[in-house]
């Protein structure tokens, strides 16, 4: 499985390169760096330099396993913040042909609805932002499904908050998950990392979402299937005339030529595994760990211990008889003491 993070906070060249390298180290396969609409053009100027530096990454310095040796891929998008519904529509209309991906920070119900109803938008980020509820309802869920607008849940919100506010966030996550299961709108999971200290491994992230009720299929869709569909759509957006009509260059007939993203069931069938999150580790994965060798030595030593069954039975029988005698004596003493205390108590009352 490949892991896509569609919300990494871009800032400048050095910071972005550090974020990409740290994410690559922890097993991420695709990153989308988000910028403001004003800074997006400047960020594109060093995109090629980032790609060249990515190719120079050393796999031996990462925690990526032997099943995942691909290089990391990146893209750049626009994240709209602190804007009302009218401003969001203007920015989306102005930058749709220029930006690879457009998302907007939610929170206000008017903003949430405006984004869900706008087919030019890709992602509604954090609809629960600064709210006591999830910011979603059945009307917004239907609009998001109809316009193919993905709803984004950010792990950083849980990471950087505590106590009551964290509990409210987890409750909002569960409520949005409930709407997703009913209305089938795209639901993506991101980290919203701003620095290298926000980056977590893919195993840590999946473990958290499993702990709050996400199934393996929903985690697969949130980290791979829906993000991959968004990336494929935007890569092919210039060939889309209207919704549902796409120009296929070089096609001689109407044969479907698009490579579809495998569903969770297709992925399991291709890999012939029952679960993608409970994989057993091979011995090769622990080549450098001396702990395994020490445990093997301990295990061999334990197997060589010879236990005399007859000696063990004699000890157990003798122990049982001694325990029975001690128990009877102790019980008799306790009863005598209890009778004495009762007699004293009755004399005091009289």
Q: For the residues 246-271, what does the mean pLDDT come to?
A: 74
Helices (H), the chain: 13-25, 40-45, 47-55, 85-95, 109-116, 138-147, 155-159, 163-183, 202-211, 216-220, 226-235, 264-271, 290-303, 309-349
In degrees and rounded to multiples of 5, residue 102 shows phi and psi of: -130, 125
In this predicted structure, the answer to whether residue 168 has a pLDDT above a threshold of 80 is yes
Residue carrying structure tokens 């006591």: 132
Cα separation, 320 vs 305, whole angstroms:
25
Nearest alpha-carbon partner for 3 in 150, 160, 219: 219
What is the residue-averaged pLDDT of the chain? Answer: 82
Q: What is the pLDDT, as a whole number, of residue 183? A: 97
Q: Is 266 helix (H, G, I), strand (E, B) or coil?
A: helix
Asked whether the beta carbons of 281 and 221 are under 8 A apart, the reply is: no
Supply the angle between the helices 138-147 and 109-116 in degrees, to the nearest 10. 30
DSSP 61: G
22-36, 76-90, 323-337: least confidently modelled range: 323-337
315, 316, 333, 335, 336 from 329: Cα distances, Å: 21, 20, 6, 10, 11
Query: What is the rounded CA–CA span in Å between residue 285 and residue 8?
Result: 29
- pTM to 2 decimal places: 0.76
Per-residue confidence (pLDDT) for residue 62, from 0 to 100: 75
Q: How far is CA 254 from CA 177, 246, 290, in A?
A: 37, 11, 59
Q: How far is CA 3 from CA 168, 175, 183, 201, 232, in A?
A: 27, 24, 24, 10, 15
- Per mean pLDDT, which range of 75-79, 145-149, 164-168, 307-311 is the poorest? 307-311
Question: What is the per-residue pLDDT for 316?
Answer: 44
Domain ranges of the chain: 4-283
- The whole-number pLDDT of residue 268 equals 87
* pLDDT over 60 (residue 14): yes
Ranking 112-126, 156-170, 297-311 by mean pLDDT, the lowest is 297-311
- Among 49-58, 71-80, 103-112, 275-284, name the one with the lowest average pLDDT: 275-284
- Write down how long the chain is: 350
Task: List the single range of 186-200, 228-242, 249-263, 315-329 with lowest mean pLDDT.
Answer: 315-329
Residue 73 sits at φ, ψ, to 5 deg, of -110, 150
Span 50-63, pLDDT tens digits: 999 999 888 777 77
Q: What is the mean pLDDT of residues 335-340?
A: 52
Q: Are 125 and 103 in contact (CB under 8 A)?
A: yes
Q: Is the pLDDT of residue 184 over 80?
A: yes
Q: Residue range 244-257: average pLDDT?
A: 65
Q: Is the pLDDT confidence value at 8 over 90? A: yes
pLDDT value for 258: 59
Q: Quick one: pLDDT band at residue 172, thresholds 50, 70, 90?
A: very high
pLDDT at res. 209: 97
Exposed/middle/buried for 32, CB within 10 Å: 0-12, 13-18, 19+?
A: buried
Instruction: Categorize the per-residue pLDDT at 327 as very low, low, confident or very high, splitting at 50, 70 and 90.
Output: low
pLDDT tens-digit profile of 34-84? 999 999 999 999 999 999 999 988 877 777 655 566 789 999 999 999 999
Q: Does domain 4-283 have CATH number 3.20.20.140?
A: yes
């Amino acid at each position: 499985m490949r892991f896509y993070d569609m919300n990494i906070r871009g800032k400048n060249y050095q910071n972005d390169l550090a974020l990409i390298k740290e994410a690559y180290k922890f097993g991420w396969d695709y990153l989308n760096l988000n910028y403001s609409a004003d800074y997006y053009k400047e960020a594109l100027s060093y995109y090629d330099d980032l790609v060249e530096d990515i190719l120079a990454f050393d796999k031996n310095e990462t925690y990526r396993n032997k099943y995942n040796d691909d290089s990391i891929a990146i893209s750049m998008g626009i994240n709209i913040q602190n804007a009302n519904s009218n401003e969001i529509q203007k920015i989306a209309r102005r930058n749709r042909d220029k930006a690879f991906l457009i998302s907007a920070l939610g929170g206000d119900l008017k903003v949430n609805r405006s984004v869900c109803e706008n087919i030019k938008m890709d992602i509604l980020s954090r609809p629960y932002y600064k709210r006591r509820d999830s910011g979603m309802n059945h009307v917004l869920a239907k609009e998001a499904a109809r316009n193919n607008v993905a709803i984004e849940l950010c792990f950083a919100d849980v990471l950087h908050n505590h106590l009551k506010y964290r509990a409210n966030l987890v409750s909002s996550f569960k409520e949005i998950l409930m709407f997703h299961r009913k209305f089938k709108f795209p639901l993506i999971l991101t980290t919203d990392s701003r620095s290298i200290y926000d980056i977590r491994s893919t195993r840590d992230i999946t473990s958290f979402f499993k702990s709050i009720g996400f199934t393996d299929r929903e985690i697969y869709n949130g980290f791979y299937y829906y993000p991959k569909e968004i990336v494929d759509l935007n890569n092919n957006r210039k060939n889309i005339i209207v919704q549902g009509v796409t120009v296929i260059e070089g096609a001689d007939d109407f044969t479907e030529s698009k490579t579809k993203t495998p569903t969770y069931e297709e992925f399991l069938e291709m890999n012939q595994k029952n679960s993608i999150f409970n994989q057993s580790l091979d011995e090769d994965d622990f080549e450098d760990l001396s702990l395994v060798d020490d445990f093997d030595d301990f295990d061999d030593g334990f197997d060589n211990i010879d236990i005399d069954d007859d000696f063990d039975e004699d000890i157990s029988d003798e122990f049982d008889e001694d325990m029975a005698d001690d128990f009877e004596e102790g019980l008799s003493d306790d009863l005598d003491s209890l009778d004495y205390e009762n007699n004293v108590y009755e004399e005091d009352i009289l």
